[in-house]
A and B are shown apart, each in its own frame.
Chain A
Amino acid sequence: MIRAILLGLAALACLAGAAGLWLTRAHPVEAARFEGLTGDAEAGQTLFTAAGCASCHHAPDAEGDARLVLAGGQRFPSEFGTFVAPNISPDPDAGIGGWSLTDFASAVIRGVSPEGAHYYPAFPYTAYTRLEDQDVADLWAFLQTLPESDAQSIPHEVAFPFNIRRAVGAWKLLYLRNEWIRPAESTELERGRTLVEALAHCGECHTPRDALGGLRTGAWLAGAPNPSGDGTIPSLRPEDLDWSASDIAYYLESGFTPDFDSAGGHMAAVVANFAQLTAADREAVAAYVKALPPE
């Protein structure tokens, strides 16, 4: 996934010159939009778990409660260099404790830093961009309740030309969309869609990418090469996955497939998060997956 994104960025670095700096500038959210909102930390906790923020931002090898210390430091290697997740704990210096809600919203739904730079889409704001404003405020309120860490964020080890953040602006023009991908005809399907498309970013792993590293939404959840190079991430489309809705919900709860193999790879972290959600949420995701059309 990261490899394809970076190849895309290289091509777009050239394009950025042509498209003009104006088009590729950062678009933070307007301050007024979030001013009236008060976050609810309890609601934020569910969003945080479903979105898997800790899975990427806890310290490498953290276990148990230490996973709630968002010190950063996990490395996401690729052929072109390595991204390192930053400290997003409430520490005012090393983390993001000094940020405003508007700064946070710009990062999570627009992929823009407080200084106005573009974040790399290794941070899945491409999914989070579909969140409601209130959800963002709730997430922010929950993050304040977590422990501080004074661990300094480690710079990415990404070489020229992939280090040109401006190119991400051109990439976003093509791929940062906040429309929903699938229709949802019931309240349950709507909930499932929020979990799949906005929060748990299932598509980031299960959907193949085009030459520029953008998700091929036409092949939504149809399976993709594993970015770590180990095998293939399975398709969730009906012609490939014949599990019942309760099989899918049980897998998300326990990690067990219908023949009692047990989930591995990056899916293990997703299962650990979904085990903490409600049965209704797991069933909503299962309903969404069962409603996917054949490719």
Chain B
Amino acid sequence: MLRTVSVLAIFALATPAVAQDFDGHLKARQGMFRIMAINLGIIGDMAKGDAEYDAEMAQTAADNLVAVSQTNPLVLFPEGSSSEALEGTRALPAIWDNTDDLLAKWSAFGEAAGGLQQVAGDGREALGPALGPVGDACSACHDEYRASNE
């Protein structure tokens, strides 16, 4: 009995310490997704007509998306950093049961970003059709691996 209590006490102490350890990982992966959203936004605003089309800007943003897609995201998702274990993250525990699928969804994003990269400099009209698959790739992963807003 006493032993159980002390084991529990250790856990109680351990949790916040571990949470601290992953602070950088949470910031990094959420920052990475923000980088993606900002670059996508540059192109999306042009596609919507909210911003003037600028071939060079559009190309730079698409190149950035492709560059991010070529990194391996798993290093930012260490075991124990799910929304169940920690505050301040929406990464669902299902990620760690399906890392292969997560990587497949990540490469689907890379492929769609590549499609966007090819046409980004070709004028405003080319953007919309190439954005569709990118949005589908983002949603497909959020659908399964990200919780709704807290």
Contacts and interface: CB of A to CB of B under 8 A. Distances in A.
B40 A256 contact: yes
B37 A264 contact: no
A254 B83 CA distance: 26
Contact size range, B: 20 to 34
Given A262-B142, A264-B139, A268-B139, A250 B48 contact: yes
Contact of B148 (A262, A264, A269, A271): A264
A259 B135 contact: no
Most B Cβ at <10 Å: residue of A261, A264, A271: A264
A268 B90 contact: no
Nearest to A226: B148
Given A256-B44, A256-B135, A259-B37, A231 B149 contact: yes
A230 B40 contact: no
Contacts of B140: 268
A255 B133 CA distance: 11
A241 to B, nearest CB: 12
Contacts, number: 66
A22 interface: no
Interface string B1-33: 000000000000000000000000000000001
Contacts of B135: 254-256, 262
A233 B44 contact: no
B142 A259 contact: no
A265 interface: yes
Interface in A249-281: 250, 254-256, 259-265, 268-269, 271-272, 275
A250 B142 CA distance: 18
Contacts of A256: 40, 44, 135
A286 B136 CA distance: 21
A10 B90 CA distance: 33
Given A262-B139, A262-B142, A272-B139, 12 more contacts: A230-B83, A231-B148, A231-B149, A234-B149, A254-B131, A255-B138, A259-B37, A259-B41, A260-B41, A262-B138, A264-B141, A265-B142
Interface of A: 226, 230-234, 246, 250, 254-256, 259-265, 268-269, 271-272, 275
5 contacts: A230-B83, A254-B132, A256-B44, A256-B135, A264-B142
